[in-house]
């Protein structure tokens, strides 16, 4: 396909003309099926995490064992939350870089996102280890079961996200993510931001709101 650079709609041109800054896909909705599928998946994930958060709210008053505010280390968790929050920035900068055709920069940002995500997971493993040492096992109380299930599920989501990020870097190094397939990076980014958004809710509801 021979197409001149000037005839390609840029983000700037698209923004100037309409709210939609993305180039239309060849589908009825103008959105690629992959992206639509990811958004549908994320909508369904709202229900999954909604269920887990609701269960935690119902069971957060333990009948036995340590209470949440006896064991939570808020300064530590705040730092972890900040790390995850900043990983959303590096992720969106990676998407921006690939849209500009800057492959090396994209890999750097994605690598930074993966490192920040891994730091968050390391913090969560450390936190769980400390809690277990202080006598809060998975089956210690209804609170502990609900807490570990909720935060553990989130941790698994972050881990899957890290695997996807590493895969993106490897694919990029093999030259399999040219600019016209930047949407692949954007879709992984959507998943990563959603994981961050879920933590925003967990951090406030589980850690900060007093019993």
Partner 1 sequence: MTVTSHDNVPTTVLDGAVKDYSRDKVYVLTALFLGVVTLVEIATYAFPDFPVWADELVVPVLMILMAVKFFTIVYVFMHLKFDKPILTKLFYMGLVLAVLVYIAMLSTFRIWYHGHHG
Span 175-204, contacts to partner 1 by CB under 8 A:
178-180, 183, 186, 189-190, 193-194, 196-197, 200-201, 203-204
What secondary structure letter does DSSP report for 208? I
Task: Tell me: does residue 10 bind partner 1 (CB under 8 A).
Answer: yes
Q: What is the 3-state secondary structure of 154-175? A: HHHHHHHHHHHHHHHHHHHHCC
Rounded to a whole number of angstroms, the minimum distance from the CB of residue 79 to partner 1 is: 10
By CB under 8 A, the residues from 114 to 133 that bind partner 1 are: none
Backbone Cα Rg of the chain: 20
d(CA 105, CA 107): 5
Which range of residues in 57-65, 110-118, 125-133, 137-145 is near partner 1 by CB under 8 A? Answer: 57-65
Of 62, 68, 80, 91, the one binding partner 1 by CB under 8 A: 91
Q: What residue ranges in 4-156 does DSSP mark as E strands?
A: none
Cα 51 versus chain centre, distance: 18
d(CA 22, CA 99): 11
> Which C-beta is closer to partner 1: that of 84 or that of 162?
84
Rounded to a whole number of angstroms, the minimum distance from the CB of residue 201 to partner 1 is: 6
**Hey, CA dihedral for 95, 96, 98, 103, is it positive or negative?**
negative
By CB under 8 A, the residues from 13 to 52 that bind partner 1 are: 15, 19-26, 29-32, 35-36, 39-40, 42-47, 49-51
Cβ count within 10 A of residue 94: 30
Of 70, 76, 78, 130, the one binding partner 1 by CB under 8 A: 78
Q: Is 30 left (phi over 0), alpha (psi -120 to 50) or beta?
A: left
Rounded to a whole number of angstroms, the minimum distance from the CB of residue 200 to partner 1 is: 5
Rounded to a whole number of angstroms, the minimum distance from the CB of residue 82 to partner 1 is: 6
> Which C-beta is closer to partner 1: that of 52 or that of 121?
52
């Amino acid at each position: 396909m021979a197409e001149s650079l000037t005839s390609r709609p840029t983000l700037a041109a698209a923004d100037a003309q309409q709210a939609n800054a993305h180039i239309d896909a060849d589908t009825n909705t103008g959105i690629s099926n992959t992206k639509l599928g990811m958004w549908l998946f994320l909508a369904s994930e709202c229900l999954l995490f909604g269920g887990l958060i609701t269960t935690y709210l119902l069971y957060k008053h333990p009948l036995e064992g340590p209470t949440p505010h006896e064991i939570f280390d808020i300064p530590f968790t705040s730092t972890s939350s900040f790390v995850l929050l900043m990983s959303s920035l590096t992720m969106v900068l990676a998407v921006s870089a690939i849209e500009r055709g800057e492959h090396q920069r994209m890999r750097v940002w994605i690598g930074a996102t993966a490192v920040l995500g891994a730091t968050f997971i390391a913090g969560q493993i450390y936190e769980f280890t400390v809690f277990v040492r202080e006598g809060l096992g998975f089956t210690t109380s209804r609170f502990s079961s609900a807490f570990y299930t909720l935060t553990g599920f989130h941790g698994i989501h972050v881990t899957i996200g890290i695997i996807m990020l590493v895969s993106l870097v490897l694919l990029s190094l093999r030259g399999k993510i040219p600019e016209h397939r930047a949407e692949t990076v954007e879709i992984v980014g959507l998943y990563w931001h959603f994981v961050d958004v879920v933590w925003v809710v967990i951090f406030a509801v589980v850690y900060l709101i007093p019993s």
